[in-house]
Structure 1
Amino acid sequence: MTERFILPNRLDSSAAAALAAALLERRGHGLDLDASEVEVMGALAMEVLIAAGRQWSADGQTLAIQAPSLRYAAACEAMGLAPDAPWIGVAAKTGDAA
């Protein structure tokens, strides 16, 4: 069974600990993270999402980002991360011809 969790609109440093706790409560089964309401995305909260993605993978469970907001996607891009799965790797840059 996959649970849906709506990410809060403000994911800055002060929200990182609460985000980590909320995700840990849901560990052990698939989880869809709805990022449609995210307006502020900080590096520390992103680290929590990256760690969660890696943990879910190690546990053999799925973790997915659904409906990323424009601000969430822009923050991921600014950090060089893929908005749909920031824990997998660096976002591909388009238009970079060598």
Structure 2
Amino acid sequence: MKNRLDLPARLDHQGARQLYAALLSMPPGDTCLAAGQVSFVGGLALQLLLAAAAKWRAEGHQFTCQPMSPAFTDDVTRLGVDPKEFQEDQGSCR
């Protein structure tokens, strides 16, 4: 099963809470997060994304963010993470 989640425009504290709830409710399976409309990524949301990627991959599922907005890429980089961390499992969210 392939899951798809459109990320909110702002992954600030409130956006991170919404992301956490959405990830918890997702069934097991390959997952693609559409980050093409993201305008801000905060540290808490980035931690959630990294933890989710590690969990999904440890369970043998793909986890990717496609597409990524320039703001998403810039903020992730600014927070010290290579955006390629979310492209490890190439694929689109279609």
TM-score bucket (shorter structure): 0.7 to 0.9
Question: What SS is found at the alignment partner of 2:83?
Answer: coil
Show structure 1 runs of 5+ residues with no match. 89-98
Give the structure with higher Rg (CA).
1
Q: Which structure's relative contact order is higher, taking Cα pairs within 8 Å and 6+ residues apart?
A: 2
1:8-64 CA-partner distances (Å, limit 9, x unpaired) = 101001221220110121141111111000001100011110110011012111110
Aligned residue-pair number: 87
Runs of 4+ in 1 over 4 A off after TM superposition: none
Q: Using structure 1 for the length normalisation, give the TM-score.
A: 0.81
What is the rounded CA distance, in whole Å, between the counterparts of 1:70 and 1:28 in structure 2? 29
Question: What SS is found at the alignment partner of 2:45?
Answer: helix
Which residue number in structure 1 is paired with residue 45 of structure 2?
Answer: 45
- Equivalent positions of 1:1-98 (< 5 A) are 1-85=1-85
AA paired with 2:72? Y
Show structure 2 runs of 5+ residues with no match. 89-94
Identical aligned pairs, as a percentage?
Answer: 33
Question: What SS is found at the alignment partner of 1:67?
Answer: strand
Which residue number in structure 2 is paired with residue 96 of structure 1?
Answer: none
